[in-house]
């Protein structure tokens, strides 16, 4: 049985209800989390406020940095344990689960170093004045986290918020709470004061909604689906609470005829099969120069057929999807493709050891996907790559920008001029040239345009979003 973690103590929910925790590899229930409600959120916000007023706002940047660094080191000591927890809870193959735990530690390391380097400026103004700006924390920040990369998203969001001097109330996704509850416990062990990091588990429409509405929450960082992002934005607008939205994507990987295909092919595949395609920045659309469309698809098809899917502990190319409804969602997309006559190039294989009760999906490569079809427009959030061809650079740009999203893009070409032209013309938050960073790069600001959201997390840039700027004008004559 798992409890909320509020003011450095395990707390049962006010409702007395729990939710089952399911292993996606087997479909079996193996634990319980608290089904919390607005009362638990209120308790956590009060604990956070108390921490802010009594301790945290008096803690210097240097000391905050040291605490974050201690946590980073503690997390590294617990990588294997955290990876095992995540593997069972989220169905992540061992390598993926470990890399998430290492990335979490790296976020805290990066933000530890940033704590004492965030500062305002002095501004030239009229004679007789001195004007300066201070970067101040918002105060109590709310963090609503999805299930696909709980540890990484906690690291970038909570790590950045703490570094900027905020305290945090975290609502993990109901399918992925266990690793974050353990991380909060480890944070208390290295000396984070009670109330600095609080975790409240439960449903989005109960806990997440209560957190977004709570008048004591002074900034909300939301990572999740565009539809819930809209709800959060509406609720926050009622009290003019600032929001950072990290929403989905339908990110293109664009391959020109002069690309180095030996380098591109494994990266293209990894960008869609990593985490079984459940990655907001997955490279889920493949746009290929018509000159190399057939040979590239043939090569990718052969590689897709080699991919193996199975229980997380087998550490194959892909584990299961997170839950049955996600599996059904992918099946619905694939049956729509069939109805529309979209050809399938190849599929990987689910191994015989995979229990039928697990939530498995073979990686699938589709071709000639019409640009208006939902497979080219909507997030599948599963291992499905939709390929289409383009005639020239203008056509590639047109297709790349032809969705409501704009999170990440990958461009493969050896032509230096084209590399920059494409980077300029694609509407997205990140562009990778001759590589693709699905999720990677702690140092690199990350976020979207259009329906992929706004605000930036990761990198130093995130700290500006987690602070508010105060201008102080002193007239001294």
Q: In the set 3, 111, 147, 432, which binds ligand NAD (CB under 6 A)?
A: 147
Active site residue 378: no
Is 208 among the residues that bind ligand NAD (CB under 6 A)? yes
Q: Strand ranges (DSSP E) for 227-361?
A: 243-246, 252-255, 285-289, 308-309, 344-347, 349-350
Q: Which of 174, 206, 246, 379 is catalytic?
A: 246
Scan for tokens 């990686």, then name that residue.
Answer: 363
Q: Which of 11, 51, 177, 280 is catalytic?
A: 280
CA distance 163 to 146: 22
Q: In the set 280, 345, 346, 399, which binds ligand NAD (CB under 6 A)?
A: 280
The tokens for 168 are 């945090």
Residue 124 C-beta: closest distance to ligand NAD, Å? 38
Look up residue 10 and give its DSSP letter.
E
Is 241 among the residues that bind ligand NAD (CB under 6 A)? no
Site string for ligand NAD, 221-240 (x = CB under 6 A): --xxx--x--xx--------
CA distance 37 to 294: 54
Is 404 among the residues that bind ligand NAD (CB under 6 A)? no
Scan for tokens 């018509």, then name that residue.
Answer: 290
Is 209 among the residues that bind ligand NAD (CB under 6 A)? yes
Characterize 352-372 residue by residue with b for buried, 16 or more Cβ atoms within 10 angstroms of its Cβ, and e for exposed: eebeeebbbbbbbbbbebeee
Nearest residue (CB) to ligand NAD, 182 versus 458:
458
Distances (CA, A) of 176 to 124, 136, 282, 311, 418: 50, 32, 20, 17, 42
Q: In the set 5, 381, 390, 466, which binds ligand NAD (CB under 6 A)?
A: 381
Site string for ligand NAD, 438-467 (x = CB under 6 A): ---------------x--------------
Is 107 among the residues that bind ligand NAD (CB under 6 A)? no
The tokens for 193 are 């004061």
DSSP string, 351-407: -TTS-TTS-----EEE-S--TTSHHHHS---SSEEEEEEESSHHHHHHHHT-SS--S
Nearest residue (CB) to ligand NAD, 26 versus 157:
157
Is 248 among the residues that bind ligand NAD (CB under 6 A)? yes
Is 174 among the residues that bind ligand NAD (CB under 6 A)? yes
Which residues form the catalytic set? 246, 280
Q: Which residues bind ligand NAD (CB under 6 A)?
A: 144-148, 171, 173-174, 204-205, 208-209, 212, 223-225, 228, 231-232, 246-248, 280, 379, 381, 407, 453
């Amino acid at each position: 049985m798992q409890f909320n973690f509020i003011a450095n103590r395990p707390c049962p929910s006010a409702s007395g209800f729990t939710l089952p925790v399911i292993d996606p590899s087997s479909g079996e229930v193996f634990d319980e989390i608290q089904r919390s409600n607005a009362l638990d959120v209120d308790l956590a916000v009060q604990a956070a406020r108390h921490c802010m007023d009594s301790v945290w706002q008096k803690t210097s940047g240097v000391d905050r940095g040291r605490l974050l660094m201690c946590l980073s080191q503690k997390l590294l000591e617990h990588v294997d344990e955290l990876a095992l927890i995540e593997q069972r809870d989220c169905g992540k193959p061992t390598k993926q689960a470990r890399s998430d735990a290492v990335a979490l530690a790296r976020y805290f390391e990066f933000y530890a170093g940033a704590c004492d380097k965030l500062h305002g400026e002095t501004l030239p103004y009229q004679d007789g004045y001195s004007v300066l700006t201070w970067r101040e924390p918002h105060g109590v920040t709310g963090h609503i986290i999805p299930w696909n990369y709980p540890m990484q998203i906690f690291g970038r969001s909570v790590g950045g918020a703490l570094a900027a001097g905020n305290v945090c109330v975290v609502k993990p996704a109901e399918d992925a709470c266990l690793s974050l509850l353990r991380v909060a416990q480890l944070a208390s062990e290295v000396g984070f004061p009670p109330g600095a990091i609080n975790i409240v588990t439960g449903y989005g429409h109960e806990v997440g909604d209560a957190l977004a509405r709570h008048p004591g929450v002074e900034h909300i960082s939301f990572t999740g689906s565009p539809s819930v992002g809209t709800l959060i934005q509406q609720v926050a607008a009622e009290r003019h609470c600032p929001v950072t939205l990290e929403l989905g994507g339908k990110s293109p990987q664009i391959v020109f005829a002069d690309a180095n295909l030996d380098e591109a092919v494994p990266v293209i595949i990894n960008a869609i099969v990593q985490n079984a395609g459940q990655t907001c920045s997955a490279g889920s659309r493949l746009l290929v120069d018509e000159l190399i469309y057939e040979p590239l698809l043939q090569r990718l098809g052969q590689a897709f057929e080699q991919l193996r899917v199975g229980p997380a502990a087998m550490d194959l190319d892909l584990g299961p999807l997170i839950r049955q409804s996600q599996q059904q969602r992918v099946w619905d997309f694939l049956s729509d493709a069939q109805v529309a006559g979209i050809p399938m190039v190849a599929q990987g294989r689910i191994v015989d050891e995979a229990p039928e009760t697990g939530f498995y999906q073979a990686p699938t490569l589709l071709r000639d996907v019409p640009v208006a079809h939902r497979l080219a427009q909507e997030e599948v959030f599963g291992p499905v790559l939709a390929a289409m061809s383009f005639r020239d650079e203008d056509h590639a740009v047109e297709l790349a920008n032809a969705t409501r999203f704009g999170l990440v893009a990958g461009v493969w070409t050896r032509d230096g001029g084209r590399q920059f032209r494409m980077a300029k013309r694609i509407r997205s938050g990140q562009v990778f040239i001759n590589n693709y960073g699905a999720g990677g790069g702690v140092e690199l600001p990350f976020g979207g345009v259009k329906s992929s959201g706004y605000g930036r997390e990761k990198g130093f840039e995130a700290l500006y979003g987690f602070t508010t700027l105060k201008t102080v004008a002193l007239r001294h004559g």
